[in-house]
Amino acid sequence: MTLRAEVSGLKNLMIVAGGATVDPTKPFAPFGPQPRANAAFIVGSSEVFSKPIEAWRLNVDWQAQYSQTGYYWKLSADYFNPYEAVLAGGRWQPLDDWELADRHPGRGTRKQQPGTDIHLDVEKDATIELGSAKLIDGLTRQTLDNSPFDSSAISGFVRMALPRSFGHAEFVRENARALIYLAREKKYAVPTNVNPDSQGMPRAPYDPMITRIEASYETEREEAESFVLLHSFGISGGTANGRLFPSLPFEGALLIGVADFAAPARLTLLVQVADGSGDPLKQAPDLEFAVLDGDTWKVLERQNIDDKTMNFAASGVLGLNIPEVADTTHNVMPAGLHWIRIAAPRDADALNRLLSVAAQAARVAFVDSGNDPAFLETPLAAGSISKLVISDVAIKNVSQPYNSFGGRPRETPDAFATRVSERLRHKDRAVTMFDYEALVLEAFPSLYRVKCLNTTELKRNEHAVITADDELMPGAVTVVTVPWTHGGNARDPLRPYTDQATLTAVDRFLRSRISPFVRLEVQNPKFEEVKVDFKVKFTPEIGDIAFYIDELNKAVIDFLTPWARVGGGEVAFGGRLWKSSIIDFIEEQPHIDFITDFRLYHKIDIAAAAGEWSPIDVEVIEATTARSILVSAARHAIGEVTDGA
């Protein structure tokens, strides 16, 4: 099978001009700002050099056309035609030999090959035919990003070098000489090979500048018929069974590329997640960890994984022992990196939303050095830790990207008396509802409120999704937890879900303190959304309507969800909410003239999409279950009463 392709408009090029990497989308001087003899213009392309090339060219726009009225006297552009060399095996291989000639004894004359000259005397849309096509064997590995041109480069680049300068250095010297002659009122005569202007001064040299550059190429390859599978970030060879698509035995995967890493070694990552952002109605799946060996994913054994995140249920440090088989040469993923795949076989939406991943992570603990007793009442703000107490030359810098966690202030006499009294009452056993709540609140300071629901069992469908709350089920106990919403790293105060790691820890804690006949479940509350829709007329002195509508939206949120702000009310399970009370609150706000077209909506399933529920105006909203909490919508539908309304 013969495959032939003609490609044009290739802009993804690695350009090195005058010894520095430049942005090809912006104007640049290909041979540097003041090109000298042997100044190099280097072009690289992973796409071009990974294929056997029959012909290739550069399509460029020159900022100015070359003129023979530059510094040198009537030199045509042919005198500046660069000569090519291809990087192969880490060395520059010239296209042809050189021989001495009388016309140019200083530099010699090269044996020209058709299509190897770069002509500067062109206008817009110039085409530079390159003679290096036959030397490109296509053995360079293709990557998504072009490889940088550095000391490690062994192929994938073509170099075009000037045989002589345009006279920039000579112009500076000769122009200074001419100015000295004029200052002394002496007659100045330009050298015979230099162009004088109307004043008898040497003319400025030509400055080659490219404003646009693209590549085009032609390639042809004969191969046995085969399939190539296209992956998200690369390609792989087809399989024997002729699959049209690559096999992905998971629902979702996180791919992490690590640079400047040498396997085998231990890698520690700080995985920061948004607590409670996963679907609380689903059980988080067990994750599979794998490293990329060539183009094959090798699953890590459990003994090589130290997962403090408990399958991304909470933020924490993830430690991985990367084996020696992990390398940086790939086709299915960008080369040059060690790749780690963390895959969820099912229910990927049950995992918390990922905020960031940082390498070289370590967990540190507070050591009391005579600090204020109130020091631990609030988390240590992000960025507070910036250096080591005892410096270490092996550690370049230290950063604390997020707030601290897990701190507890010194126990006060009142707290001590309360704890002892509760201990004497429940005796570290969970029997009554109060026992469950007191035990959990004492053991988990990150929790703000705990509610124990006896004779309550959560019903699930075949997909393990909660469909109903059976509140008349003897022997069943459901414990509902609400975390602190202030001082956390990434918790939504309107949806204070407890992370799965804490729920699992609470469940494990209680099971050692309850009767073996109790069917226990620890779960998040059921949040039911309240949304209002109305139009408002502000008093005449209000000018910025959009600003005051936004302020009114915040006020309604504070009224419906008072615990969302510091110093607000407490979280309330169950309960009712009347439309009249909301209307009364809004009408009492400053700058409100009147409201109209008021509607109150109750969204029982907070996860339902816009098309999955129908807003129905109601007079009273009542929580549907004992573990339900009525919460405000993040944005209410507030409009302005216009004069025509």
Could you tell me if 80 and 124 lie in one domain?
A: yes
Residue 240 has a pLDDT of 60
Could you tell me if 513 and 570 lie in one domain?
A: no
Residue 610 has a pLDDT of 57
Last residue in a domain, options 296, 325, 359: 359
Best CA proximity match to 636, nearest among 587, 599, 588: 599
The number of helix segments (H) and strand segments (E) in the chain equals 7, 33
C-alpha neighbours within 13 Å on the C-beta side of residue 416? 4
Decide if 483 contacts 496 (C-beta within 8 A).
yes
Last residue in a domain, options 507, 523, 539: 523
| Token pair listed for 72 | 């040198």
- For 613-622, the CB contacts below 8 A with 24+ separation are 615/531, 615/533, 618/579, 619/578, 619/579, 619/580, 620/576, 620/577, 620/578, 620/579, 621/528, 621/530, 621/576, 621/577, 622/575, 622/576, 622/577
Residue 299 included in any domain: yes
Residue 176 has a pLDDT of 87
Give mean pLDDT in consecutive 10-residue pieces for the chain, a chain of 645 residues.
84 90 91 88 88 86 79 76 85 60 35 45 67 75 78 86 85 84 77 76 85 89 71 73 75 92 92 78 84 92 91 88 91 90 89 89 85 78 86 86 79 84 88 94 90 93 83 94 71 80 90 94 92 93 90 94 78 91 94 93 78 82 93 93 70
Residue 390 included in any domain: no
127: Cβ–Cβ under 8 A, 6 or more apart, which residues?
Answer: 57, 58, 59
Residue 338 has a pLDDT of 93
Could you tell me if 41 and 159 lie in one domain?
A: yes
| Token pair listed for 411 | 């126990």
Could you tell me if 632 and 561 lie in one domain?
A: yes
Q: Is 434 helix (H, G, I), strand (E, B) or coil?
A: helix
Could you tell me if 448 and 421 lie in one domain?
A: yes
Cis previous bond, 615, omega within 30:
no
Residue 112 has a pLDDT of 43
3-class SS letters over 536-547: EEECCCCCCHHH
Beta strands 526-538; 476-483: pairing state: unpaired
Could you tell me if 158 and 28 lie in one domain?
A: yes
Phi, psi at residue 271, to the nearest 5°? -105, 110
Residue 475 included in any domain: yes
296: Cβ–Cβ under 8 A, 6 or more apart, which residues?
Answer: none
Could you tell me if 31 and 143 lie in one domain?
A: yes
Residue 74 has a pLDDT of 73
34: Cβ–Cβ under 8 A, 6 or more apart, which residues?
Answer: 168, 169
Rounded-to-integer distance, Cα 518 and Cα 520, Å? 6
Could you tell me if 48 and 126 lie in one domain?
A: yes
Best CA proximity match to 639, nearest among 606, 601, 596: 596
* Cα-based distances in Å from 266 to 30, 291, 306, 323, 391: 44, 13, 10, 9, 23
Could you tell me if 43 and 102 lie in one domain?
A: yes
Could you tell me if 251 and 331 lie in one domain?
A: yes
Stated pTM of the model: 0.55
Residue 31 included in any domain: yes
Domain that holds residue 428: 413-523
Could you tell me if 28 and 142 lie in one domain?
A: yes
Which amino acid is located at 56 in the chain? W
Residue 153 included in any domain: yes
Residue 194 included in any domain: no
Decide if 433 contacts 422 (C-beta within 8 A).
no
Rounded-to-integer distance, Cα 306 and Cα 540, Å? 64
| Token pair listed for 462 | 């075949």
- 426: domain CATH number is 3.30.300
Q: Which helix (H) or strand (E) holds 426?
A: helix 413-426
| Token pair listed for 124 | 């817009």
**Number of structural domains the chain divides into:** 4
Residue 494 has a pLDDT of 85
Decide if 267 contacts 261 (C-beta within 8 A).
yes
Decide if 488 contacts 275 (C-beta within 8 A).
yes
Q: How far is CA 194 from the centre of its chain?
A: 56
Residue 178 included in any domain: no
**Buried residues in 520-544 as b, exposed as e (16+ CB within 10 A):** bbbbbbbbbbbbbbbbbbbeeeeee
Rounded-to-integer distance, Cα 235 and Cα 47, Å? 13
Q: Which helix (H) or strand (E) holds 168?
A: helix 168-183
- 90: domain CATH number is 2.60.120
Which amino acid is located at 626 in the chain? A
Q: Is 550 helix (H, G, I), strand (E, B) or coil?
A: helix
Place of tokens 């192929």: 155
Phi, psi at residue 563, to the nearest 5°? -75, -5
Residue 193 included in any domain: no
Rounded-to-integer distance, Cα 367 and Cα 108, Å? 75
Could you tell me if 95 and 212 lie in one domain?
A: yes
